[in-house]
Structure 1
Amino acid sequence: MLEMLAVIGPMFLVVLVGFAAGFIRRFRDAAIHLNAFIFYFALPTFIYTAMVTAPPLGAVPPAVFVIILVVTPALSVGLYFLCRVFGAASRAGAAPTALAGSFGNVGYFGIPISIGIIGPEAGLAAGIVHMTHNIFFMNAYPLVRTAVNASAAADGAPQGLGDLWRTRLWPIVKRAVLLNPVLLFMVLALTVVFTPLQMPELFEEPVAMLGGTAVPLALFCVGLALHPALEGIRSGGVPPAPIALGTAAKLAVLPLLTAAAVLPFSAQLGPVWAGALIILAATPSSTTVFLFSQEYDGDGRLAAAILVASTGLSLITLPLVAEFLL
């Protein structure tokens, strides 16, 4: 346990530094620019370097994609319907609870923790798990909520599917896939790993330098993001039941379900793939859940509460998961 805290503890200290900096207005105001730098430059280059420098793992086991695209969506749908039986207050927060209880901080927390616990060979595995996870969530939630909101706005009037796709849904897919720098760098990394293509040193060295800023800066920004999340909670109107449900699902239910799904494929996956899947499943809610809920649900307070609770409690749960894996 102490060994695991030695790996994970420094990351949470950086989060605390970011939280402390958030009491100063200039840092809070800079958060949007820092996050833009992380998204467009630091995180793509960090993941690229982690993937191309990882020791070779051979072919990607098909079970990886089955587990990610079955277990996590199933939990998300289950959370949605479970919230709807808890009364009107929980029913109104069913969508953000389903998102926050299943969408983890796989990039900022999951990849560096996987590498720190399993070793550098986890870089490629964690990168592919991250890519699959994010392609699903960065498209599924915005698309579903946009379609639902468009249907509600139409108030029963017929709406052409083609017009909805062209004006509302296609821009989401384009932004999340075609214009996503993280995804583009991952595709490049996979090309380098699985084909004879090699990038020149003039490209690799500055990419590695930019990637070196990703983890500390991203964790610093997670700390900054806790301030608007806490402000949303303090404003009131956040029912406790979905907070507890979403936090428990993200930190306990999802990693347990993932571990159970890994067992039948353990021979195919091996310890690196299995470990990366479970660690990434055990990460706290992503800061993106607050942004998505604010944009597509009109109220990010519930997602923010689950983000804060899961981030704080993960200091206990992540070392337990790591200890279980070892």
Structure 2
Amino acid sequence: MLSMLTTIAPMFIVLAVGFLAGFAARFRQAQSGLNAFVFYFGLPSFVFSAVLAAPPAQGVPAAAIPLAAGVTLMLSVLTYAATRAMGARAASGAAPTSLAATFGNVGYFGMPITLSTVGPEAALAAGVLHLTHNMIYMTGYPVVRTVATGATGPAGFRAAWRRRLWPIVRKAVLLNPVALSMAAALAVVLTPLAVPEVLSESVAMVGDTAVPVALFAVGLAMHPALEGVRSGGVPKRAITLGTAVKILVLPLATWLAVLPLADHLGPVWAAALVLMAAMPSSTTVFVFSEEYDGDGRLAAAILVAGTLASILTIPLAAEFLLL
């Protein structure tokens, strides 16, 4: 436990530095630029270099993507139903609770933590699971909430899809920088193509900045989340449920689903699946909840609580997997 905590602790320290920097307006104002850098340059370069440097991959197990998607979506629906059953006050926040309880920080947290604990051979698994998770939520939640809240307007779903939803889907799926970088890396790994050394070293330099800048940006993002929490008006039972599902129930359910398929998945994919599920909520849950639910305070509370609790739960999960 102590050795695993020592391995992961530097990442939380960088996050804490970002949080402390967020008390200064100049850094809070830089948050959007930092996020854009990580999304378009840092993380794609990190993924490209990690996949190229990884030992030869055995491919993607057939059950990996359906398992990751199935467990997450099932718990999202169950969390929504459980929140609705808690009474009128909690029921109004059922959608953001289910979102924050299952949409994890698989990019900024998940990929570096998985590679640092499992090893470089987990690069392909971490990249594929990151894409699977993000594509489900970055496309699914906007579509579902737009339809459910009647935000399609008098012009109907087709017009809303063309004007609002298709640009989101296109960006998340077709033009996703991480997906494009992984496709490029696999093209190099699986074909006789070669990357000139000067180019691969340049990409690696940019990729080396991804983790610290991403974690710093997560620390900055905690400030608007905390401001939402301080404003009050969020049901504590929904916060408790969402946090418990995200950092305890989701990784446990994923582990139980992985057990009968362990031989098919192999140790690397099995560990990556559980570790990715153990990540705290993505900072995007606050943004999405603000935009599509009209109030991001509940999602923010689950994000903050889960991130703090994950300082202990992630090392425990990693230690358990590597026993």
TM-score normalized by the length of structure 1: 0.95
Give the unaligned 5+ runs of structure 1: none
Aligned to 1:299: 295
Between the aligned partners of 2:80 and 2:170, the Cα distance in structure 1 is 27
Aligned to 1:112: 112
1:194-205 superposed matches below 5 A: 194-205=190-201
1:280 aligns with 2:301: no
Give the unaligned 5+ runs of structure 2: none
1:1-326 superposed matches below 5 A: 1-149=1-149, 151=150, 154=153, 159-326=155-322
Percent of paired sites with the same residue:
61
One-letter amino acid of the structure 1 residue matched with residue 177 of structure 2: P
Q: Deviations over 1:39-71 (max 9, x none)?
A: 111111111111221111212101101111210
Between the aligned partners of 1:62 and 1:178, the Cα distance in structure 2 is 22
In structure 2, relative to structure 1, the CA distance for the partners of 1:40 and 1:118 (3 Å cut) is same
Q: Deviations over 1:206-249 (max 9, x none)?
A: 11110000101111111111111110111111110111101000
| 8 Å Cα contact 2:83/2:94 also seen in 1 | yes
C-alpha deviation, 1:195, in angstroms: 3.1
In structure 2, relative to structure 1, the CA distance for the partners of 1:143 and 1:196 (3 Å cut) is farther
Report runs of 4+ in structure 1 exceeding 4 Å deviation: none
In structure 2, relative to structure 1, the CA distance for the partners of 1:193 and 1:132 (3 Å cut) is farther
| 8 Å Cα contact 1:143/1:172 also seen in 2 | no
Cα RMSD (Å) of the superposition? 1.4
C-alpha deviation, 1:168, in angstroms: 2.8
| 8 Å Cα contact 1:146/1:168 also seen in 2 | no
| 8 Å Cα contact 2:152/2:159 also seen in 1 | no
| 8 Å Cα contact 1:42/1:210 also seen in 2 | yes
Between the aligned partners of 2:295 and 2:100, the Cα distance in structure 1 is 13
C-alpha deviation, 1:152, in angstroms: 5.2
Q: Deviations over 1:69-89 (max 9, x none)?
A: 210011111111111010111
Between the aligned partners of 1:121 and 1:153, the Cα distance in structure 2 is 45
Between the two proteins, the alignment pairs up a number of residues equal to: 322
